[in-house]
Structure 1
Amino acid sequence: MTEALRLFGEQGFAKTSVAQIERAAGLSGGSGALYRHFKSKDELLVQAVDTRLNDRGEWEQFLAPSFSVAAVLDAIRPSSGTVDKIVALCGIGLARLDHDRDITRILLRDNSIPTPLLEVFRQQEYAVVMSMVTRGLVELADERAGEQDWDATAAVLVGALAHFWIMRDIFDGDHPAGIDTDRYLRATAEMIAARLDWADSEGEDPR
């Protein structure tokens, strides 16, 4: 599964053959040995992604119901303002995307992946990340939380990070606009912090 994910991430799902996976995994290429473990290349991909996403490592702590995202950000950036704490939250998100680079490439760059994989991603990664980010934003807003649409705000933040990651990956590590990571994360954090401040408006037009 590890070698398959690497090849899928580097070459794309459709362009990676079963024989290539077999050879990379130390099997005899073209022997059909892979089919003793998986019914098809599609099944291999779905199971490999599901397994990798469930192996959360250091990110497991963020999933506990009692876990406080704000407390972690306070520890990372003590005595810092809201913008700096959101920058730290963005940094955690980018680290997660980097950690699962092969999967991120498969999901964000490959339009040949089988449909069942999208549901695995939706349930095992996206919904989990969205829940954590939403909770973190609400905690940061604290008494300003009000009736804001925090799910939508979290989706904007997650989308901004995913877009930045994929653009850097496509252009070999450099964003095509020449914006470095620190500048991008700070600009993103400032916009999200403004959204937090709007919570004081109690429904008034934030403009």
Structure 2
Amino acid sequence: MSATSRERILTEALRLFGEQGFAKTSIAQIERAAGLSGGSGALYRHFKSKEELLVRAVDARLADRGDWEQFLAPTFSVVTVIEAIAPTAGTVDRLVALCRIGLTRLDHDRDVTRILLRDNSIPSPLLEVFRHQEYAVVMSMVTRGLVELADDRAGEQDWDATAAVLVGALAHFWMMRDIFDGDHPADVDTDRYLRATAEMIAARLDWADPKGEDRG
């Protein structure tokens, strides 16, 4: 079934906002990209303003989680998934696996990630959408994953702060790599970065064996 005019507008607007930035994208550009007559004002039959369109487009993309629904569900178990993939993995390797889930999520919604991490012209209502629909959900998943991996040490750390550090490290790596067309400016590839991040989180939580035997 072909997409409706509203659906095409949402799709093309999100793509253009991600590629060009919110301020640099015009209503006429969005209309033309959606197969409408540029400058005709047809977009306003569906949305009151460009600001409303941006919020609705991001909201719709974040709500349509697809295959990611399982990872962000309250019942998701990081340990169960990792043990199924690599049952003998050590702590650091398990953390690397958790990092890969987060980094792949950023790649999955590339346009939304670009808008939120790189565009300082976005309206404040969008920040609230992101705060509640994405960031809070992801933070909850990462925090639960860390608690699961810590097991009997779960009561010894500030899990929210640790999760925020981990999410921030992944978001920064993604953003720098995206700005530099896929290559990190420090010439550090994904595998090295994720392992370094995992090792620092392990050290922060004092999970690794003092003799280095549990570094995966």
TM more than 0.5: yes
- Distance in 1 (CA, whole Å) between partners of 2:194 and 2:64 is 26
Q: List runs of 5+ in structure 1 lacking aligned partners.
A: 201-207
Q: Does 1:135 align with 2:144?
A: yes
Tell me if the contact between 1:9 and 1:103 (Cα under 8 Å) persists in the aligned partners. yes
Alignment-mate amino acid for residue 172 of structure 2: H
| TM-score, structure 1 as length reference | 0.93
Give per-residue Cα distances to partners, 1:56-114, cap 9 Å, x unaligned.
11111123333211111222222100111111111111111001000000000000000
Query: Matched residues in 2 for 1:98 and 1:62: separation?
Result: 15
Query: Alignment partner for residue 206 of structure 2, among 174, 179, 197?
Result: 197
Whether 2:32 is the aligned partner of 1:26: answer no
Q: Is the 8 A contact 2:17 2:25 kept in 1?
A: yes
**Counterpart in the other structure of 1:97:** 106
Distance in 2 (alpha carbons) for counterparts of 1:109 and 1:64: 27
Corresponding residue for residue 186 of structure 2: 177
Comparing 53-62 with 4-13, greater Cα deviation is found at 53-62
Cα separation, partners in 2 of 1:17 and 1:100, compared to 1, 3 Å: same
Unaligned runs of 5+ in 2: 1-9, 210-216
Post-superposition offset of 1:198: 5.7
SS in 2 for 1:161: helix
Aligned to 2:75: 66
Q: Which residue of 1 aligns with 2:3?
A: none
Identity between Structure 1 and Structure 2 (%): 87
AA in 2 matched with 1:197: D
1:24-66 residue CA offsets vs partner (Å, 9 max, x unmatched): 0000000000000000000000000001001111111123333
**Pairing 1:94-133 to 2, within 5 Å after superposition:** 94-133=103-142
Extract structure 1 runs of 4+ deviating beyond 2 A: 62-67, 195-200
Using the size of structure 2 for normalisation, the TM-score is 0.90
Quote the RMSD (CA, aligned, Å). 1.4
Q: Which residue of 1 aligns with 2:26?
A: 17
Paired residues of 2:79 and 2:149 also in contact (CA < 8 A): yes
Amino acid at match of 1:124: Q
